Structure 1
Amino acid sequence: MGSYAVFLRGINVGGINIRMADLREALKGCGFTDAKTLLASGNVVLTSGKDAAAVKRECEKCLRDSFGYEAWVVVLPADRVAWLVEACPYPEDDKSTHSYITLSSDATVLDELDQAGAALGDGHRQQRLGPEALAWLAPAGGTLDSPFSKISAKARFKAATTTRNLRTMIKVRDAATGLAKAGD
């Protein structure tokens, strides 16, 4: 049985509104009996005997059937979430910046986003963490106005990525790791 983190894209930020209790119950009804939600931004931890690709397909189908929208999620094993958090070179808590990790299950889109961000020059800081993740910094209080945030909001990238701040990723890591240990 593997422990996974499921990151939903585009809910509760304008457009698709799903209460976390409803999300949790829908996933439980689709066979993910230990699904737990974290925060209100579409973060779930659960266990499954299937691989990440199968969990992704099943979660997306469950969301489509339960909430009537074209769902898209990133599913990562708990140990991969832990690795991404540790590999992030930016601070968890800093008064002048906020650290983010953008996730995608489409490495090609993340490659393009990485290149677009790199073209911003020396003032922008980002680091590719693997085929599914890109870490970046934004000024405190100015995330949405940052040049990288404006690039990542373009339809091409927005449709295939989801972003979490590092503090959220740490909470998801801790919950997914705890779920994995409980299953041992």
Structure 2
Amino acid sequence: MGSYAVFLRGINVGGINIKMADLRDALKNRGFTDAKTLLASGNVVLSSTLDAAAVKQECEQCLRAAFGYEAWVVVLDAGRVAQLVEACPFPEDDKSTHTYITLSSDAKVLDELEAAGSALEKHDQQQLGPEALAWLAPVGGTLESPFSKISAKAKFKAATTTRNLRTLIKIRDAAAALAAAQATSS
């Protein structure tokens, strides 16, 4: 059984509002009995005998059926989330910048996003692997930052989602706790 982090794209913004209790219940009804939501931005940790690709497919089908929207998720193995947090070269907390990690279910899309960001006059980003790109934005100016504007383009929506580093740390810790609980119950 594997532990996974599931990142929903575009909920609780733009008219798609999902209560985390409803999300958790929908996933539990789909067979993810230990699904746990974190924060109100569509972060879930769960365990499954399925591989990550199958968890992605099941979660997207569940969300489409339960909430009636074109759902996209990025699913990562819990251990990979920990590796990405560790690999991030930018600070967790800084008075002038926020650290973000854009996650992708499609390496080619992430490569295209990285190339577009690298073409900016000033770019503070680093690809962490085929599924993650870390970047900085000024405090109070995230949505106006040039890279944020690029990453918000429609062509990236179906394959990417962004979280701040502090959120990924919380997800890493919750996924580790889930994996530990699995190990003791086996």
Q: TM-score, normalised by structure 1?
A: 0.97
Instruction: Indicate conservation of the 8 Å contact 2:60/2:73, yes or no.
Output: yes
- Which residue in 2 is equivalent to 1:157? 156
Q: Check if 1:94 corresponds to 2:99.
A: no
| Other structure's SS at 2:135 match | strand
Contact 2:74 2:159 in 1 (8 A): no
Partner of 1:2: 2
For the residue of structure 1 that corresponds to 2:37, the secondary structure is: strand
What are the superposed Cα offsets for residues 150-176 of structure 1, whole Å, 9 maximum, x if unpaired? 111111123321000000000000001
The superposition leaves residues 20-51 of structure 1 with CA deviations (integer Å, 9 ceiling, x where unpaired) of 00000000000000000000000000000111
Structure 1 residue 142: Cα displacement: 0.6
Partner of 2:130: 131
Structure 1 runs not aligned, ≥5 long: none
Structure 1 CA distance for aligned equivalents of residues 172 and 55 of structure 2: 18
Q: After TM superposition, what 4+ stretches of structure 1 lie above 3 angstroms from structure 2?
A: none
Once the two structures are superposed, the pairs formed by residues 63-102 of structure 1 within 5 Å of their partners are 63-102=63-102
**What whole-Å deviation, never above 9, does each CA across 1:113-135 have from its counterpart, x for those lacking one?**
000000013x3200001111000
Q: How does 1:1-184 map to 2 (within 5 A)?
A: 1-121=1-121, 123-184=122-183
Counterpart-to-counterpart distance in 2, 1:42 and 1:70: 14
Distance in 2, matches of 1:113 and 1:152, equals: 7
RMSD of aligned residue pairs (Cα, Å): 0.8
2-structure distance, mates of 1:155, 1:70: 13
Matches of 1:30 and 1:182, distance apart in 2: 21
Structure 1: which amino acid aligns with 2:85? V
3-state secondary structure, aligned to 1:91:
coil
Look up the equivalent residue of 1:82 and give its one-letter code: A
Q: How far apart, in 1, do the equivalents of 2:141 and 2:123 lie? A: 13
Is the CA contact (8 Å cut-off) linking 2:102 and 2:163 kept in structure 1?
A: yes
User: How many equivalent pairs are there?
Assistant: 183
Q: Do the aligned residues in 1 keep the contact of 2:3 with 2:47 (CA within 8 Å)?
A: yes
Structure-2-length-normalised TM-score: 0.96
Aligned to 2:177, what secondary structure does the other structure show? Answer: helix
User: Which amino acid is 1:143 matched to?
Assistant: T
CA distance in 1, matches of 2:105, 2:23: 21
